[in-house]
Structure 1
Amino acid sequence: MTLYGCPLCERDESSPYYSVNGYALVQCRACGTVAVRPMPGAEQLAAHYQRAEYFAGEEGQGYADYTAMKKALRPHFQRRLRALASAFPQRGKLLDFGCAAGYFLEMARSDGWEIAGVELSTEMARTATQSLGIPVVSNLAALPPGTFQAITLWEVIEHLPRPIDVLAQLSARLSPGGALMLSTPNTAHWQAVRAKEKWVAFRPPSHLLYFTPTTLQRALSAAGFAQISIRGVMPLPELPPLLEKSTASLQRGLANGSAYPWPLALILWRAIRLAAWGWQRIRRPQDNPFATLEAIAFKPK
């Protein structure tokens, strides 16, 4: 285990925030970043992600079955590709950092991008290469600087013990004016603030850092990015206790891709969630309802 100061500002001034899975989470008093303390070392983290159970059979830390999520991930990937297309109508070279089995890159290739991936898990990298024909490396050092017009990190930055260092390395692989897009759980979400025991993103040692719009902006700026835009997506409002309990299984299934409800049931569920969101905005206007942050930032020309 390794102990050091805040991964964003490097100050060693923190307050207890939460405890889960035998790990302490602390909040930096200087910049507000929430992080695991002490931070697992590089060898421990590498071994953690090489386990087959991380992508199949370990929902509490990784995924119940990542391959079964392909259909559930498509709408999110389609939305993100549209955002990339608006920034780069001519497409170009795209790197997905933490590409897993390559599902996003497969869709990006169909959309006209020249693709490559970085993936730590040997098994996932093999799946992407052998099943989908996607070129994947295990280390950024294998990629020359200034190569890519766009780099993506979908639900990756929260896994990085030193995110600014990695973001700076990714910036070096972008061409001038290139874009970095990422997503991460939103620790300003109401559950993370006042119902921490319900917030599924608190899952060390898989998730090591927990970002709000403010701290994510700070990390991207510190890595040299400009024109930073951050927005909340995936509203997850507070439901009445009985409704929360009765729909818990459906919510888990929709999140991990194991549930394929009838279209009418899905429409009803979305209507319930929208109504709950509206009521929460009236009752608790200070609550942040968005479960996920998505950001786009550019390397200066």
Structure 2
Amino acid sequence: MVSQEDFTIVKCDSCGFLATSPRPADDQLGRYYESEDYISHSNTKKSLFSRAYQIVRNKAVRDKRKWVEQHASKGDLLDMGCGTGHFLNECKTNGWNITGVEVSEVARANAKTEHGIEPLSSFDEVSDSPAQFDAISMWHVLEHLPNLNEHLQKFHTILKENGALLIAVPNHESLDAKHYGPQWAAWDVPIHLWHFSKSSMNNLAAKNGFEIVEIKNMSFDSFYVSLLSEKYKNGSMRPIQAFLTGLRSNLAGRSSKNMSSLVYVLKKAV
């Protein structure tokens, strides 16, 4: 992977939850993001792959906004790990009151330069006051957070009663994950501290007072992850092979909601 270091995925015998081991100290995690390969922070457009990523992202942010609006009344939205602010800008343009949290100084600077958005630098800066937000979104962020239960408990507090929490994470039970095995790019150790399946996400939600009301496939991710996985496995992206693997993964996971990445829509449990 990008870090060129060795890590192990360990499994909890009782619940089946997967975690990265050894887990880097919290104050060491930041250095693993300091790579131009991490283009959601750098916003680079130097390579063909990076330019394609930017084009697809423009459509993806529109889809994400529509998903949020299917489950939450338009109002106040918190986006955790907002990166360079493209999704927040899409929501702001369409009438949402936005708040973003982003730990990367580079990404925050890009958000301000490109969109005039100034994200908070830490979740601690978000007030603990109850029922602040109509929607909370996390697009490939939960797998990065050191303290899962603490975050979800605070989300439960600050989310309005009829609000929605949308969480996108990689799915290690997808066909592309099984195809690439240890070279599956979405393991992304060590910055991915946790690795989710539908059952482990359901358990995590229930433990923190939520229920999953819908699961959505993220069809583009199968191709994106397969491209990176080809690079890790074979030394080059091999776009034809990656496309075919991504397509097979999408076809296999379409009806069962088991593609490379899934969006979980959570509501407060009654």
For this structure pair, what is the TM-score category when the shorter chain's length is used for normalisation? Answer: 0.7 to 0.9
Residue 93 in structure 1 maps to residue 76 in structure 2: yes
Equivalent position amino acid for 1:203 in 2: D
Rounded Cα–Cα distance in structure 2 between residues aligned with 1:46 and 1:119: 12
- Aligned position for 2:17: 33
Q: Residue 147 of structure 1: CA displacement?
A: 1.5
Rounded Cα–Cα distance in structure 2 between residues aligned with 1:277 and 1:187: 12
- Count residues with an aligned counterpart: 247
| 1:53-64 pair list within 5 angstroms | 53=35, 57=36, 59=37, 62-63=38-39
Deviations 1:228-279 (A, max 9, x none): 32233327499xx9xx98x944379x9xxxxxxxxxxxxxx69x965x469x
Rounded Cα–Cα distance in structure 2 between residues aligned with 1:67 and 1:248: 18
Q: Percent identity?
A: 24
Q: Which runs of 4+ in 1 moved over 6 A?
A: none
Within the candidate set 96, 100, 118, 1:135 is matched to: 118
Residues 277/171 of structure 1: CA separation in 2 closer, same or farther (3 Å cut)? closer
- Aligned position for 2:92: 109
Within the candidate set 105, 113, 128, 1:122 is matched to: 105
Deviations 1:26-52 (A, max 9, x none): 111111111112211111114444x3x
Equivalent position amino acid for 2:265 in 1: I
Rounded Cα–Cα distance in structure 2 between residues aligned with 1:179 and 1:117: 16
Moved more, 126-135 or 116-125: 126-135
Within the candidate set 140, 143, 163, 1:158 is matched to: 143
Deviations 1:117-143 (A, max 9, x none): 000011211221243121311122222
Within the candidate set 31, 43, 66, 1:66 is matched to: 43
Within the candidate set 229, 254, 260, 1:291 is matched to: 260
**Unpaired stretches in structure 2, ≥5 consecutive residues:** 46-52
**Structure with max Cα Rg:** 1
Equivalent position amino acid for 1:75 in 2: K
Rounded Cα–Cα distance in structure 1 between residues aligned with 2:149 and 2:134: 20
Residues 288/129 of structure 1: CA separation in 2 closer, same or farther (3 Å cut)? closer
| 1:1-301 pair list within 5 angstroms | 21-49=5-33, 51=34, 53=35, 57=36, 59=37, 62-63=38-39, 66-68=43-45, 69-88=53-72, 90-144=73-127, 145=129, 146-193=131-178, 195-234=180-219, 236=222, 248-250=237-239, 276=248, 281=252, 290-300=259-269
* TM-score normalised by length of structure 2: 0.78
Rounded Cα–Cα distance in structure 2 between residues aligned with 1:295 and 1:288: 10
Deviations 1:3-43 (A, max 9, x none): xxxxxxxxxxxxxxxxx831111111111111112211111
Please state whether the residue corresponding to 1:290 is helix, strand or coil: coil
Residues 79/288 of structure 1: CA separation in 2 closer, same or farther (3 Å cut)? closer
Rounded Cα–Cα distance in structure 2 between residues aligned with 1:103 and 1:277: 27
More helix, by proportion:
2
Please state whether the residue corresponding to 2:185 is helix, strand or coil: coil
Q: Residue 288 of structure 1: CA displacement?
A: 8.1
Please state whether the residue corresponding to 1:153 is helix, strand or coil: strand
* TM-score normalised by length of structure 1: 0.71
